[in-house]
């Protein structure tokens, strides 16, 4: 009889030996999520709030991350964009079930440059470009037929030429002030390590109780 324990080793997270830069740790976990086969590992819950504090959340896709922050794209007339213009602070949550890991990010939000939005828009599939033109995001529409009609009209308009980025569509960058890494552990004694940005742009690192 084989008595060798073949169960996977429990993942751990120790605040004493993590990287001083949370973006380095984020990228390491993100790469692990890709390797794990997670579907859409770049998906993240974006939470915003209006000026009166009413919250709203939805799933969007991360398109870029570096030391400056986390970038996503949307229609600037959408509900989330209107809230971000009123109250330019937001929170993100990543959750990768296969790895039993979660990352929470909080910080201020600003638009990326027009050049950055142009560059990303050019990289999108043509149908996605046309969809950005055709959809009055978050507005009430009469029917799907109307959306498809608008799509066809723009398809004809731009047939044989490059689709231009509409001025009402572009990116936002969330500059993190706080990033928390959560690793599931047995007995509900989960590992939680939080980074908080300091005045000199360095990061404090602490363990939180689960």
Dump pLDDT digits (tens) for 145-199. 999 999 999 899 999 999 999 999 999 999 999 999 999 999 999 999 999 999 9
Determine the pLDDT at residue 136. 85
Catalytic residues: 188
Residues of the chain above pLDDT 90, percent: 89
Dump pLDDT digits (tens) for 108-123. 999 999 999 999 999 9
Indicate the domain borders of the chain. 22-124+169-207
Averaged pLDDT score across all residues of the chain: 93
Is the pLDDT assigned to residue 4 strictly greater than 80? no
Q: Whole-model pTM?
A: 0.89
List 41's β-bridge partners, or say none: none
Determine the pLDDT at residue 8. 53
- List the CATH code of the domain at 22-124+169-207: 2.30.110.10
Determine the pLDDT at residue 169. 96
Determine the pLDDT at residue 1. 41
């Amino acid at each position: 009889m084989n008595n060798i324990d073949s169960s996977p080793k429990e993942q751990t997270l120790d605040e004493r030996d993590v990287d001083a830069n949370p973006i380095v740790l984020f990228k390491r976990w993100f790469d692990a999520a890709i390797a794990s086969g997670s579907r859409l590992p770049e998906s993240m819950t974006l939470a915003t709030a209006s000026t009166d504090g009413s919250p709203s959340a939805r799933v969007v896709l991360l398109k870029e991350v570096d030391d400056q922050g986390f970038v996503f794209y949307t229609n600037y007339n959408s509900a989330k964009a209107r809230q971000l213009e009123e109250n330019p602070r937001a929170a993100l949550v990543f959750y990768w079930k296969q790895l039993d890991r979660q990352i929470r990010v909080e910080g201020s939000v600003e638009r990326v440059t027009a050049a950055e939005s142009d560059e990303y828009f050019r990289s999108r599939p043509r149908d996605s470009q046309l969809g950005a033109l055709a959809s009055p995001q978050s507005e009430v529409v009469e029917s799907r037929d109307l959306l498809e009609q608008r799509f066809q009209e723009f398809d004809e308009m731009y047939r044989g030429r490059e689709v231009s980025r509409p001025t009402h569509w572009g990116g936002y960058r969330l500059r993190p002030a706080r990033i928390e890494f959560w690793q599931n552990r047995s007995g509900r004694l989960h590992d939680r390590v939080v980074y908080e940005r300091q005045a000199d742009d360095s990061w404090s690192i602490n363990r939180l109780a689960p």
